[in-house]
Amino acid sequence: MIRKLALSTVAVLALSCGGSSTPNGGGSSAAAYTGVYNATYSGTYAVTSPAGLPGGTSSDSATMTLTELSSGELQVSWDISPNPPSGIADFNLTGNTGTATGSGGMCFTGKLANGDTQTNCCTMCSITFTGTSSFTQPNAGTFTGTTFAGIPYAGTYSGIWTGTKQ
């Protein structure tokens, strides 16, 4: 059982944060960064409940679509297979750097490959562009889940998405 639970948390992903619209205070056009990006994730996690389970590392890949909102913000949408679009985050840009908008971060709930159901909530998220064709998106937050066998678990994560425009 512990092995199954530990393996399920390996799939912890920093999926999304943000969500509300506020005016773009940065004077940088979100349109310059719009497009479809291939992205990879690398991060770490710690299981806080049940006690005694080890943490570890996680990685994944996604297609991320970046679009400009009418407010001038940049919206990032993740598509992490096998889930449908896996979450969104809105970023208020200042130059080439964005801060997630919204209170408390948006959460995503999805099925993991092993059958577990997990919810990730990003609580600290930003995005930084290098030119107009690549970005890094550091993030940290919490996760909760239920194993396929019905056992609840929880923890924290931090990591970074790195994307390159297609």
Residues 59-71 have pLDDT tens digits of 989 999 999 998 8
Q: How far apart are CA 17 and CA 40, in angstroms?
A: 17
Q: What is the CA radius of gyration of the chain?
A: 16
- Count of domains observed in the chain: 1
CB atoms within 10 A of CB 58: 18
Q: Identify the band that residue 130 occupies on the pLDDT scale cut at 50, 70 and 90.
A: very high
Q: How far apart are CA 164 and CA 166, in angstroms?
A: 6
What does the pLDDT look like over 152-161, one tens digit per residue?
999 999 999 9
pLDDT score of 44:
97
pLDDT score of 4:
40
* 163: Cβ contacts below 8 Å, ≥ 6 apart: 37, 38, 39, 64, 134, 135, 136, 137
pLDDT score of 164:
98
What does the pLDDT look like over 11-27, one tens digit per residue?
444 444 434 333 444 44
Domain residues for 130? Answer: 2-165
What does the pLDDT look like over 91-120, one tens digit per residue?
999 999 999 886 445 787 888 878 888 999
pLDDT score of 12:
42
Read off the pTM.
Answer: 0.80
